[in-house]
Structures are given as structure tokens and as C-alpha cells.
Structure 1
Amino acid sequence: MTKSKRPLISVNPLNGKTLKTYQEMSQEDLEKAIGRADKAFVSWRNRSFSDRAVILKRASNLFEERSEELARLMALEMGKKLSDGQGELALCAEIFDYYAEEGEKILAPQHLSTREGESTLVFQPLGVVYGIQPWNFPFYQPARFTAANLIAGNVVLTKHASNVPQCAEAFAQLLFDAGVPEGVYTNLPITSGGAASIIDDDRVKGISFTGSNAAGAMVAEQAGRNVKKTVMELGGVDPFIVLEDADMDLTIQRFAEGKLGNCGQICLAAKRIILTEPIAEEFLDRATKLFQALKPGDPLVESTDYGPLCTEKAAEQLEDQVSKSVKAGAQLLVGGKRNGAFIEPGILTEIPAGSPAAVEELFGPIACVWVVPDEEAAVKLANDSPFGLGGSVYTQDHERGRRVAEQLECGTAFVNHAASSYASMPMGGVKKSGYGRELGELGIKEFVNQKLIRYFN
């Protein structure tokens, strides 16, 4: 066996203590893992939908049974509050349950109308698919990719983020305990540098990536050279539009959910708060008081309002973005101070063009606020971005909310609710937020061969 390259270290961001160290998989072991997956596909694709569904149902039950244990693991390894972790695991159970129940129906052959003969569209698995997953939702992110592909008959290789190796191991163990055969799901303990060869391997038929735009572009470029299907979810700077007729109590509640959930470390988080002038003062006053009342603490303690970011490095980067924005002229109404891996929830206003808060994704509990005169200006500002993942609009006029939502250049738009994910609803972005969809009917069809069969007499 060749020597491992570098360790994957699990660190508690609350106190900086090392929890566990893993050795990166060697190139020789990686080659064997891909070979096992390729071999496993032959038998897995021929298992009936009902057989595969039974296994997914067991996995769904295990997510519920192990919710407390796995939520605690996320709290220790990446700082997620227990309540946030339990919500994530409930969604994982919902996803596996949804695909177990609906997968066969979604992928049933479709008979098409033709002028002569008969035509049928069938959906067939591609083979080995590779998921590159982030750290912010170490169970939900791989769950949405894995469940859809397992029920479709594909086999899955997964590279988790290097800072959550314990969660990666626990996810794989849960699937094995549910009855997933060896090789049908494989956790790859590798760093980014060790992952390049996987995309080039002819046995790997598709790649799904969730992460930064820069890293996603490199993965897509390499996959493109190999003519391989990809799905890209590359984050965003989602607008949160508050119109003058919004229900302010509801809006503040949704703002707290959309900005503070997972300590702001969500691709679909409310990142650009766009207020129409008539309600700006009230919103900022209430949001400032809300943030001032929040208390940091151990994510394992239920009374904690917010925990640390995933790493101290992440907190330092966010602190730097806030500092540079303030130096450029932005006003910091509240918060923004760092203590280790903790960042006080903050609000930036008067944000100048070109500053980090105006052009970069601030991944944490910092709200960036703009005030505009009216609905038209709000929509224009919302769409003035290279990204287009999600967005939300707040108004008591249902038709007005629908009209604004339809104008937003994004993959997912919500009215009177913070952007979020559901097992049966597709999620994905446009522009530099990526392409392709996960979850729902669209998600299961990303990595299948949609084959047309024509019959003539």
C-alpha cells in the first residue's frame, strides 16, 4: 500500500481541540474503491426498485433513530446548534423516505405520442457517480445526492469536506447499517488534491459538486474535457426583499430564520436584505434589537442562541470582509466582532459599490442591507448580481408577491418565507450559482440516461 498523503483532522471549533485524525486514502486504495464501485453497479442496477426502496426506508428510519447522536457529532465537529442539526437530520429522513416512495413512479417508462409506430422514454442508471460535498450540511448535502442516485440504480462515491471526516464516516456507516451493499456507497477520505484523478477515470460517469464558484469552475472544466455530465450548486448572494406592505412581525421572524440558521452558513441564506424606504427604519430598528439580544455559547447547550463558525479560519475571513467593507465606507450597526471562531451577528448598511459586502458572499451571520425607493428598484438591485441561487419577497399582497418572485433571476424564489429545501421540491441555481437540480423529480433525472425507444411494425 502506498503511503497516505496527509491527515484529515476533525477539530472542535468551540475550543480548537483536535477530536480525531484520519489518514488520507492512498492512490492505490482509491483505485480499488472505484473498482469495487464499478463492479457493484452491475448487480445494484439489476435490483428491483422495491428492493432498493426497502433499504432507503431503513436509512430514513436510522436518521430518525440516530438524530440525537448525529446532531451532537455535528455540534462537536462543525459548531452546528443541536436544534439545527436535528432539523437537518429530519430532512435527511424525509429525502430518503420520499425517494423510496416516489422513485419508481418518477422513473417509470413514459409512452410518447408519435405519428407512426410507438415511442417510449425509459430512464436507465449511468453507473458510478461522484459527489463532492461541502461541510455546512454534512448529512443533508450527501443525502440529497445519494438517495436519488441509489434509488435510480447508480452507485455513489462521495468526497466530503476535509473538516468533517467524522460526519462522513457516520453517514457511510448509517447506509451500511441500512443494508447498502459494499461498493454501492463509498466514503472517500481524501483532500481536494487527491480527488483530481477521480474525474478523469472512465468508470466515473457523472459529477455533482456543491461549493465555491471558483472550485466548481475547475471541476466543471475537468469534467468537460472528459465529456461527463455535471451538476453544480455554487452558492449565492440571495436577495431578501421587504416591500412596504409586508407583515413586519412575520418578516422579522423569517429574517432571523434566513440569516441566523446554521449561523448564517447556508447557501440559501438571506444575504442581501433589500428594504423599501417606508419600512426601512422599523425593520432596521427591530433587526438591530434582535441581534443585540443574541448570546453566543456551546452549540451543545439548548439555550445557546448561536455557536461558532465551522473553523476559526472561516471566522477570520468573515471578519476581514466586514473590516474591509467598513473601511470602504459601510456602516456597521451592530455586531461583527470576532472571538476565536465566533462572530457576533451583525448588520451592515450604506454599503459602497465594490466593497466585499457588495460583491462577495459573506458566509456567516452578517446581514448586508440596502434601502431602495420602491418595488421596481428592489427587483433591479436583486437581479444586479452574477449569482442566482435563491431569493424571497415579503408582502401581504399575494399577487404582488407572485409577480416579484417571477421577476427574480434565481432557481428558487419564496414569498413570505425564508428560502429553504424540501425533499419533493427541486433546488438549484442559474448564472454563476450553477446549473442542474437536486431533489424532487428533476433531481433524480440528472444522472440517468433518458433513452428514447421507437417501435415500428
Structure 2
Amino acid sequence: MSSIIKTINPYNGEEIKEYKQFSKSKIETCLALSEKTFETWKHVEISDRTKLLKKLSKNLIKNKQVYSELMTEEMGKPISQSNTEIEKCVFLADFYAKNSDQFLADDLIKTDAKESFISYDPLGCILGVMPWNYPFWQVLRFAIPTITAGNTVLLKHASNVTGCALAIQDLFDASGFPKGCFQTLIADHDQIDALIADQRIKAISLTGSEKAGRHMAEIAGKNLKKAVLELGGNNACIVLADADLDKHIETMVAARMQNTGQSCIAAKRFIVVEAIYEEFLEKFTKKVNDLKIGDPKEPETRISVLARVDLADTLKKQVDSSIKKGAKVVIGNRKDQAYFEPTIIIDVKPGMSVFDDETFGPVAAIIKVKDNDEAYQMASNSKFGLGTMVFTENFLEARKQISQISDGAFFINELVKSDPRLPFGGTKASGYGRELSKEGIQEFVNKKTVYINH
């Protein structure tokens, strides 16, 4: 008997819809179709694939409000941010429609041969395991380049955004992609673990927690499958003494509070030089207090509920355990069901949960340091490696730190963000592999050496 998956609106706690989990035979049917479709899809000219991408882009625009409202209902994202997410997906589709032909073109290499080059051939059926926090963006930034490269995709989305998962499948189908290019699986983790062992699955892409990444990497490695892992983050926001707070304080607040703090690349740790600490804390606190909190369906809302009650419970435990070790709350730390009040916590030190771990919600940990050297050292004191941001007017000095920061991204006077034109990914416990840009579309291809003598 199939299990039932229920989606719940986290703002009002009401059930949205029920879905039947796929049976073993239904998953087999999807996998067989994916493999069959690949055999023809891989021969379709890239120019024809990108024509379908242009249709997909138009359908995203056409259905923007419907998709945005679905996201907001399923995981509580403020509606204005849901709209922005769909607009970013349009940018993504347009980027790969324009550039994929160039990214996948044979790369000619001069050798002793009459002709030698690298051919970028698709691998086959790729499995994507995706999270709920950006229900459309996370999926499409994986699926669009992967499918455009000639692969087919099976998606296991987070169960609380099952409606979004099925809507994305409908989006690909309505845009003219062959049946089987993109399919959503309503499945549990045991079913997915078993699927990875199937020889028809050629590679895996996972965006999720460090724990999920370690589990997936173990299964993928055991089965000799390539994996791209985009995992947790504990990004530092370094604020140096010469930072222009009046110019950048809103960016710093957005870096922590975007998506109600539920972002792997959000600024989790604010490392502030003592000369500017009091001014920063005053201005940062005022801006956080000014954020409109409420119903995610209201256009002015900037902070709403977390996606599930258990996520708020976890966040509360992290903050409270840090308080027991000496941290102090400036504002916030109130929880009500899935709601967690925007929180600023100071006197934070290594060894506290809000310093060491990923906090997935609107909690800003503030760390005071004496100078620039200590700021950069403190920023690097993390097992994660997604990104670091620094705010300073001395750009030349900040540039010298690029090679000293081992993260996957280094942003000066801007919050860390993903952009289709730039590769995205992390180091250390934040995973490996890259999404987006040229690097992303070449992750799931066979970089084949071709050597020809006449």
C-alpha cells in the first residue's frame, strides 16, 4: 500500500494536498522512460534544445504568479521573494539558451595528430535530490543545464514542496520537451538510495544538509557514481573599520534575513572589527526591527514563518544552547509554531552552536574582533566553505585576501549570491562540484578525448 505525503501550509498549519508515494513499479516505469528518452534526446541538436528552453522561459513568465503563490503556500516564502525567484529562473533559462552551444562546442587542441579535440557528450539519466528552500530555483539551476547538455533528469524533491515538483514537470512538458526528459518522483529516501545503485542512473546532484551529503556521497561512491554536492554553509560577513555602513547596512541585513534566513549562502556569522562594532550593532538592529513581519501572501512582508515547525524547534535549541555558553540575545529568540522571531545574538564565540553550525533561519550571530587580521582568521574558522563576504572601502587590500579564503566564493561589498553567469559551489563540508555557468553544464558530460590521424 502506498504511503501518503501531505503538504502543509506552514503559516496557518492547514493541509494543502495529499499525494501518493510512487510504488516500486512506478519508479521503474519512470526510470525506463528516462533511459529510452535519452537515446533520442542525446542526438537532438543543441540549437533545437535551446529553442525549447526559450519556450520554457516564456512559460515561466506566463505562470509567474501561479508558481509564486504555490511556493508561498507550500513553504512560506514571502510572495515578493517568490516572484523574484521565478524571475531569476527566467534569467537562468535565457542564459543557457544563449550560451549552451558555445559551452558544449568541441574544444580543439593542437597535438601531433591531424585532428584532436575534446567532445562533450551527455552521460544519461541524472538523479537530482533537491531541497525546499528555493523550490523552483534549486531544481532548475540543476535541471536546465543538465538537460540542455543532452541528459535526462529524475527529480526527488523535498516532500513539503511536492506541488512545486509536479509543477516543474508540467513546465517542461508544456514547453515541448520530450516525455521523459524531466520527471518528478514522489518517493522516500530508501527508494532513492536503491535507485542510485541502478546502473541506468549515471550521476547524482544533491543540494541539502551536510548530513544528507555525506549519506549520498557514501552511496554514490559505493556505486562509482559521480556526485555534485551543494551542502550547508556558515558564511562569514566581515565588517572592517572602514566599511560604509550607511551604504551597505541594508545589504548586510538582506544577507542574513533573505528567505526568512533559510539560505545556505546567507551570512550566518557577522565578524565586526571593534572600532566600528557599536555603530554596526545599532544600525543593524534598527534595520532588522524595521522588517515587516507577517502573512507571506502580503506584498510588503519580508519575514514570515519557517517552512516547518521542526525547523523552528531546531533553531531555538541552537540559540538557547549558545546562550548557556555565554552568548546574549539583543532582540528576538521567540518561537511560535513555525514562526521564529528575527534574532540578533552577541558575545558569540567558537564552540557555540550559532558559530560552529549552520543556523537555518533569521538568527544573526555577531562576533567582535580587534583588527582585520583577526577578522579574516575568525571567518576561516569554520568546517564549511560556501562563501565569505567583506565590507570595506579598501578594495585593493581586500583583494589580497582572495587566495587566503578557501571558500567557493568571495564577495566584496555585496552579499554572496548565485548568478547563472558564475560557477556556484563550495569546499570542505559545503560539498564539491559546481553548478551554473560553463562549469555547471559541463559537470554531467563525458569530456571525451578524440585523436584522429588521417
Give the TM-score category using the shorter length.
over 0.9
Q: Is the 8 A contact 1:349 1:368 kept in 2?
A: yes
Deviates more, 1:286-295 or 1:78-87: 286-295
**Residue type matched to 2:385 in 1?**
G
Find the counterpart in structure 2 of residue 204 from structure 1: 201
Q: Is the 8 A contact 1:393 1:404 kept in 2?
A: no
Q: Is the 8 A contact 1:291 1:335 kept in 2?
A: no
Q: Deviations over 1:118-177 (max 9, x none)?
A: 311110000000000000000000101111011100000000001111111111111111
Secondary structure of the equivalent of 2:446? strand
Q: Tell me, in whole angstroms, the C-alpha distance in 1 between the residues paired with 2:188 and 2:158.
A: 8
2:301 aligned with 1:304, yes or no?
A: yes
Q: Tell me, in whole angstroms, the C-alpha distance in 2 between the residues paired with 1:263 and 1:137.
A: 12
Q: Tell me, in whole angstroms, the C-alpha distance in 1 between the residues paired with 2:435 and 2:51.
A: 22
2:441 aligned with 1:425, yes or no?
A: no
Give how far 1:216 is off: 0.7
Find the counterpart in structure 2 of residue 217 from structure 1: 214
Secondary structure of the equivalent of 2:345? strand
List aligned pairs for 1:42-441, cutoff 5 A. 42-441=39-438
Deviates more, 1:286-295 or 1:447-456: 286-295
Secondary structure of the equivalent of 2:400? helix
**Residue type matched to 1:429 in 2?**
G
Q: Tell me, in whole angstroms, the C-alpha distance in 2 between the residues paired with 1:241 and 1:405.
A: 13
Q: Tell me, in whole angstroms, the C-alpha distance in 1 between the residues paired with 2:361 and 2:429.
A: 20
Secondary structure of the equivalent of 1:410? coil
Give how far 1:303 is off: 2.0
**Residue type matched to 2:141 in 1?**
R
Give how far 1:349 is off: 1.1
Q: Is the 8 A contact 2:261 2:363 kept in 1?
A: yes
Counting matched residue pairs gives 454
Instruction: Give the TM-score taking structure 1 as reference length.
Output: 0.97
Give how far 1:294 is off: 2.9
Secondary structure of the equivalent of 1:271? strand
Give how far 1:116 is off: 4.4
List aligned pairs for 1:24-35, cutoff 5 A. 24-35=21-32
Q: Deviations over 1:9-33 (max 9, x none)?
A: 1100001110001011111100111
Give how far 1:355 is off: 2.1
Secondary structure of the equivalent of 1:164? helix
Q: Deviations over 1:83-120 (max 9, x none)?
A: 11111111111111111111111110011021444311
Q: Tell me, in whole angstroms, the C-alpha distance in 2 between the residues paired with 1:430 and 1:412.
A: 10
Q: Is the 8 A contact 1:330 1:350 kept in 2?
A: yes
Give how far 1:451 is off: 0.3
Secondary structure of the equivalent of 1:69? helix
Give how far 1:286 is off: 1.0
Instruction: Give the TM-score taking structure 2 as reference length.
Output: 0.98
**Residue type matched to 2:163 in 1?**
Q
Deviates more, 1:156-165 or 1:334-343: 334-343
RMSD: 1.1
Q: Deviations over 1:310-368 (max 9, x none)?
A: 01111111111111111221111111211121111111111243221121111011001
Q: Tell me, in whole angstroms, the C-alpha distance in 1 between the residues paired with 2:103 and 2:293.
A: 45
Secondary structure of the equivalent of 1:288? helix
What are structure 2's unaligned runs of at least 5 residues?
none
**Residue type matched to 2:41 in 1?**
W
Q: Deviations over 1:404-453 (max 9, x none)?
A: 34421100111100011111111000111000000000000000000001
Q: Tell me, in whole angstroms, the C-alpha distance in 1 between the residues paired with 2:403 and 2:105.
A: 31
Secondary structure of the equivalent of 1:102? helix
Q: Deviations over 1:171-197 (max 9, x none)?
A: 111111111111111001112222111
Q: Is the 8 A contact 2:409 2:426 kept in 1?
A: yes
Secondary structure of the equivalent of 2:194? helix
**Residue type matched to 1:428 in 2?**
G
**Residue type matched to 1:178 in 2?**
S
Q: Is the 8 A contact 1:11 1:18 kept in 2?
A: yes
Moved over 4 A (4+): none
Q: Is the 8 A contact 2:113 2:451 kept in 1?
A: no
Q: Tell me, in whole angstroms, the C-alpha distance in 2 between the residues paired with 1:319 and 1:358.
A: 14
Q: Is the 8 A contact 1:242 1:275 kept in 2?
A: yes
Secondary structure of the equivalent of 1:163? helix
Percent of pairs identical after alignment? 39
Q: Tell me, in whole angstroms, the C-alpha distance in 2 between the residues paired with 1:364 and 1:101.
A: 36
Q: Is the 8 A contact 1:95 1:144 kept in 2?
A: yes
Q: Is the 8 A contact 1:74 1:85 kept in 2?
A: yes
Q: Tell me, in whole angstroms, the C-alpha distance in 1 between the residues paired with 2:103 and 2:164.
A: 30
Q: Tell me, in whole angstroms, the C-alpha distance in 2 between the residues paired with 1:381 and 1:58.
A: 47
2:5 aligned with 1:8, yes or no?
A: yes
Q: Tell me, in whole angstroms, the C-alpha distance in 1 between the residues paired with 2:158 and 2:363.
A: 23
Secondary structure of the equivalent of 2:267? coil
What are structure 1's unaligned runs of at least 5 residues?
none
2:1 aligned with 1:22, yes or no?
A: no
Q: Is the 8 A contact 2:292 2:300 kept in 1?
A: no
Which of residues 423, 434, 450 in structure 2 aligns to 1:453? 450
Q: Is the 8 A contact 1:236 1:388 kept in 2?
A: yes
Alpha carbons of structure 1 residues 273 and 405: separation in structure 2 relative to 1, 3 Å: farther
Secondary structure of the equivalent of 1:308? coil
Deviates more, 1:442-451 or 1:406-415: 406-415
Q: Tell me, in whole angstroms, the C-alpha distance in 1 between the residues paired with 2:191 and 2:247.
A: 47
